Amino acid sequence: MSSSEGPRRPVGINDVAARAGVSPGTVSNVLNRPERVAESTRRRVERAVQELDYVRNSSGRSLRSGRSDSVGLLVLDVTNPFFAEVARGVEDTAGEEGLAVVLLNSAEQAARQRRSIRLLAEQRAAGAVIMPVDGDTTDLLWLRKQGVPGVLLDRGDVSAETACSVSVDNHAGGMAAGRHLINLGHERITYLSGPAELEQCRTRLEGLRAAVAESGGDPDRAVRVIRTAQLNAESGEKAVEEVLAGGPRRRPQAVFCTNDQLAVGVLKGLGERGLSAPGDLSVVGYDDVNLAALVHPGLTTVAQPKYELGRAAMELLLSELNDQEHHHERLRFAPELVVRGSTAAYRP
Amino acid sequence: MSSSEGPRRPVGINDVAARAGVSPGTVSNVLNRPERVAESTRRRVERAVQELDYVRNSSGRSLRSGRSDSVGLLVLDVTNPFFAEVARGVEDTAGEEGLAVVLLNSAEQAARQRRSIRLLAEQRAAGAVIMPVDGDTTDLLWLRKQGVPGVLLDRGDVSAETACSVSVDNHAGGMAAGRHLINLGHERITYLSGPAELEQCRTRLEGLRAAVAESGGDPDRAVRVIRTAQLNAESGEKAVEEVLAGGPRRRPQAVFCTNDQLAVGVLKGLGERGLSAPGDLSVVGYDDVNLAALVHPGLTTVAQPKYELGRAAMELLLSELNDQEHHHERLRFAPELVVRGSTAAYRP
DNA sequence: CAGACCGATTAAAACGTGTCAATGGCCATG
DNA sequence: CATGGCCATTGACACGTTTTAATCGGTCTG
């Protein structure tokens, strides 16, 4: 078609208007409210659009409207399959509404989170789904003051006056894991936790302790806590040393990990020392990522509805964007224990 | 500070200028070329910026400049850990340059790829890193015609006249896996491939066949190919049935999978049938994702420098954006065989 | 002392779009 | 035929920023 060489200047709505013999305003109408324009002119404009290969400029659009058509998704770690699955849910839902998703990665660092939030403000993002690094909601509030509403993900402890939130009941999850282990006869349980700042780590522990108390045990005696710096398999593998410290007699009968990655690391670490689950030790994870079903033995774990979590968060955000009457909502899913091969009854 | 209620209208560069008693142009200069403005006024402006909590509007910015400060990253599958690792490399590098990364997901569908590319054009993205669904480069060329340069990832077969590209030598990778298996004495090898459109699948197979030929074998006899619809563990698990078809005597001695996920699925499928690697069958994967080291037995696989791949792609893109003199470059990394427990010598 | 020059600042014009009040043409009604 | 009303279209402006050329006050030079 166009045989002209070199980078020509981009074609705008005015060029289309000229070509179709109408005013720019009409072209805009064809693009945004086609019903307002007569059929014949509409076709003429559409043809001009095709011939010139016009693509609209979203800078101009959002400058005029004060709002862009992309939403932010701020996650703690792109490489964690849990977040990837959540992202898929968010993305699918946003896509159905014609919104683009900007994926930002805080890598669990408050400074990076702050940078990302500032970026969203500069972009005048339509909204954001945020998994915060810590309990501090000032960043979120600031963003909202700038006109960008946010939905919290995986943070059940935030008041509904602040924002919508979607989470899974971590207390119930911890309890489910605890009950399972107790029913199997385990009395000394080690809880392998990630960084203490993460609410998930703390609440799941409380659930575990509640399960112990419920069965008449003393949480302070029965549950020992070990912290790792990060939530990945490597950290879990390293932690095995500490888990086993104290020798075979004082060794725990079960390990409950706050995350599947950690749990898989533990399985590996055990193997390296000639031990294995569930023979020497029962192991429970959390999340039910793909991986959990694939390792040997299959990992008993607390499943979270990951994809639905992302979808629900985005739907809440959409409701806040579209409905004139909006009340913040606190949505909470129920986790589900999935029993596989890594846990078994205690044999003294 | 500000105790005013309700959503106030956003503060712009003009408000800052008024507050500081200067013209908007000066504020812009303070923000973008501070050296041009006198120290005293600069401080005055900076103070006004702080007091008003001004955040700049990137729509206005990029409307004026014709270019936004975000780059696109189009991947085939967000949930695949290989891509997640690549994304991390891209994001880190872009972040150092102050560029935001818009992550888009084609889910291996040409239609979604097209939509995403259109979106990047509308945003007037500064550039893009693209992992194309198929060999068709028209989308890429169209995007470039719209003024958005793109770097191809994982597509070594594209001419350097079209665009920069970064890839890992798939032929060499296939060959490394092939040689390894041949050295172990395996003579009947099944290649478990993903969709035929993906160049990676085809080229790795060629490498495998080359290794067979090199050792004096006949590729057509020694290598059998099975295709799966997707590149995930589930597909691999399902494919086991077909892999084993023909009974114990005609069963392959080794399976080379185009992807670790597939390989892990195969391991699982074998287990379900009472078989295991490497006792009954050797299994080799590709990518060396985290998972590969964590399953039992550890997966022998062809490692790719994932993070570096992302980083290099972004650096190439940056060079194209910043250097006035730019020549397209074809960067190719070397893969590396990682031997773990899933392969062993053939015992008849 | 006149003129040139310099650095700091400003005024104004653009970028591409959406919206809204105003315009024009047309038909139906009185 | 005159009037009113309706619909399709238009013209002009606003959004927030960057940039260029112009302006201003002041200092140096001949």
Say whether A150 sits in a helix, a strand or coil: strand
The angle, 0 to 180 degrees and rounded to 10, between the axes of the packed helices B24-32 and B39-52 is 100
Query: Minimal Cα–Cα distance from A123 to chain B, Å?
Result: 5
Taking an 8 Å cut-off on Cβ atoms, the answer to whether A59 and B124 are in contact is: yes
Taking an 8 Å cut-off on Cβ atoms, the answer to whether A102 and B105 are in contact is: no
Taking an 8 Å cut-off on Cβ atoms, the answer to whether B57 and A68 are in contact is: no
* Cα dihedral value B47, B50, B52, B58, nearest 10: 110
The secondary structure of chain B in percent helix, strand, coil, rounded to multiples of 5, reads 45, 15, 35
Query: Minimal Cα–Cα distance from B183 to chain A, Å?
Result: 28
Burial of A124 by CB count in 10 Å (0-12 exposed, 13-18 middle, 19+ buried)? buried
Query: Minimal Cα–Cα distance from B120 to chain A, Å?
Result: 10
Helix (H) or strand (E) holding A20: helix A13-20
**Structure confidence at residue B8 (pLDDT):** 65
CB proximity B109–strand D (7 Å threshold): no
Say whether B51 sits in a helix, a strand or coil: helix
Which bases of strand C have any atom within 7 Å of the beta carbon of a protein residue?
Answer: 7-12, 14-20
DSSP code per residue over A217-279: --HHHHEEEEE-SSSSHHHHHHHHHHHHTTHHHHS-SEEEESSHHHHHHHHHHHHHTT--TTT
Q: Identify the residue among A65, A68, A79 best suited for mutation to test binding to B, counting B beta carbons within 10 A and taking the highest.
A: A79
**Structure confidence at residue A1 (pLDDT):** 44
* CA–C1' A217–C6 (A): 84
- Do A116 and A104 touch, CB atoms closer than 8 A? yes
Q: Please, where are the H alpha helices in chain B?
A: 13-20, 24-32, 39-52, 58-65, 81-96, 110-122, 138-145, 170-183, 199-214, 219-222, 233-244, 247-250, 260-272, 290-294, 306-322
Q: Identify the residue among B49, B123, B234 best suited for mutation to test binding to A, counting A beta carbons within 10 A and taking the highest.
A: B123
Residues in contact with B220: Cβ distance below 8 Å, sequence separation at least 6, in sequence order: none
Residues in contact with B339: Cβ distance below 8 Å, sequence separation at least 6, in sequence order: B180, B300
pLDDT tens column, A329-343? 999 999 999 999 999
Chunk chain A into consecutive blocks of 10 residues (it has 348) and report each block's average pLDDT, rounded to whole numbers: 56 96 97 95 97 97 94 93 95 92 90 94 96 88 94 81 92 98 96 90 96 96 95 93 88 96 94 93 96 90 97 96 90 97 90
pLDDT tens column, B60-119? 999 999 999 999 999 998 889 999 999 999 999 999 998 999 999 998 889 999 999 999
Residue B343 C-alpha from the chain's centroid: 28
A114 φ, ψ to 5°?
-60, -45
Query: Minimal Cα–Cα distance from A88 to chain B, Å?
Result: 7
- Do B147 and B92 touch, CB atoms closer than 8 A? no
How big is the CA angle at B226 (ends B220 and B230), to the nearest 5 degrees? 145
CB proximity B217–strand D (7 Å threshold): no
Residue B3 has pLDDT above 50, yes or no: no
| Strand C-proximal protein residues, Cβ less than 7 Å | A 9-10, 12-14, 24-25, 28-29, 31-32, 56-57, 59-61, 63-65; B 21-26, 29, 36-38, 40-41, 60, 63-64, 66
Taking an 8 Å cut-off on Cβ atoms, the answer to whether A123 and B58 are in contact is: yes
- Do A81 and A111 touch, CB atoms closer than 8 A? no
Helix (H) or strand (E) holding A214: helix A199-214
Q: Of the candidates B10, B88, B147, which has its C-beta nearest A78's C-beta?
A: B88
Give the residue nearest to nucleotide D13 (CA to C1').
Answer: A64
Q: Identify the residue among B70, B79, B288 best suited for mutation to test binding to A, counting A beta carbons within 10 A and taking the highest.
A: B79
**Across chain B, which distance is largest between two alpha carbons, in Å?**
89
pLDDT tens column, B158-189? 777 789 999 999 999 999 999 999 999 999 99
- Residue A92: C-alpha distances to residues A85, A317, A331, A343, B341 (Å): 11, 14, 19, 35, 38
Give the residue nearest to nucleotide D19 (CA to C1').
Answer: B25
Taking an 8 Å cut-off on Cβ atoms, the answer to whether B79 and A85 are in contact is: yes
Q: Within window 123-162 on A, which residues have Cβ closer than 7 Å to strand D? A: none
Both tokens of B273, joined, read: 């049938």
Instruction: Identify all chain B residues contacting A55, using CB atoms and an 8 Å cutoff.
Output: 118, 121-122, 146
**Structure confidence at residue B4 (pLDDT):** 44
The secondary structure of chain A in percent helix, strand, coil, rounded to multiples of 5, reads 45, 15, 35
The angle, 0 to 180 degrees and rounded to 10, between the axes of the packed helices B260-272 and B233-244 is 50
Query: Minimal Cα–Cα distance from B218 to chain A, Å?
Result: 35
CB proximity A16–strand D (7 Å threshold): no
Query: Minimal Cα–Cα distance from B85 to chain A, Å?
Result: 6
State how far the Cα of A311 lies from the Cα of B27, in Å rounded to an integer. 42
For residue B248, whether the previous peptide bond is cis, meaning omega lies within 30 degrees of 0, is no
State how far the Cα of B50 lies from the Cα of B52, in Å rounded to an integer. 5
Taking an 8 Å cut-off on Cβ atoms, the answer to whether B296 and A295 are in contact is: yes
Both tokens of A219, joined, read: 């949480």
Q: Which residues pair with B54 in a beta bridge?
A: none
CB proximity B249–strand D (7 Å threshold): no
Both tokens of A317, joined, read: 């955000």
Taking an 8 Å cut-off on Cβ atoms, the answer to whether A62 and B60 are in contact is: no
**Structure confidence at residue A8 (pLDDT):** 65
- Residue A78: C-alpha distances to residues B85, B102, B106 (Å): 8, 13, 17
pLDDT tens column, B195-242? 888 889 999 999 999 999 999 999 999 999 999 998 999 999 999 999
Q: Of the candidates B104, B119, B294, which has its C-beta nearest A295's C-beta?
A: B294
Taking an 8 Å cut-off on Cβ atoms, the answer to whether B59 and A59 are in contact is: yes
Taking an 8 Å cut-off on Cβ atoms, the answer to whether B102 and A104 are in contact is: no
Residue B130 has pLDDT above 60, yes or no: yes
Instruction: Identify all chain B residues contacting A10, using CB atoms and an 8 Å cutoff.
Output: 66, 146-147
State how far the Cα of B173 lies from the Cα of B339, in Å rounded to an integer. 13
Taking an 8 Å cut-off on Cβ atoms, the answer to whether B233 and A294 are in contact is: yes
Taking an 8 Å cut-off on Cβ atoms, the answer to whether A146 and B55 are in contact is: yes
Residue B23 has pLDDT above 70, yes or no: yes
What is the average pLDDT across B322-327? 88
- Amino acid B54 reads Y
Residues in contact with B322: Cβ distance below 8 Å, sequence separation at least 6, in sequence order: none
Residues in contact with B207: Cβ distance below 8 Å, sequence separation at least 6, in sequence order: B170, B171, B172, B173, B174, B175, B176, B177, B178
Taking an 8 Å cut-off on Cβ atoms, the answer to whether A59 and B78 are in contact is: no
Q: Which residues pair with A331 in a beta bridge?
A: A166
**Structure confidence at residue A238 (pLDDT):** 95
- Do B65 and B72 touch, CB atoms closer than 8 A? no
**Structure confidence at residue B325 (pLDDT):** 85
* CA–C1' A203–D2 (A): 81
Give the residue nearest to nucleotide C20 (CA to C1').
Answer: A25
Neighbour order of strands in the sheet with B150-153: B100-105, B70-75, B127-130, B150-153, B164-168, B330-333
Query: Minimal Cα–Cα distance from A213 to chain B, Å?
Result: 34
- Do B42 and B1 touch, CB atoms closer than 8 A? no
pLDDT tens column, B31-73? 999 999 999 999 999 999 999 999 999 999 999 999 999 999 9
Which bases of strand D have any atom within 7 Å of the beta carbon of a protein residue?
Answer: 7-12, 14-20
State how far the Cα of A317 lies from the Cα of A144, in Å rounded to an integer. 13
- Residue A83: C-alpha distances to residues A93, A240, B7, B273 (Å): 15, 25, 32, 33
How does the average pLDDT of chain B come out, rounded?
A: 92
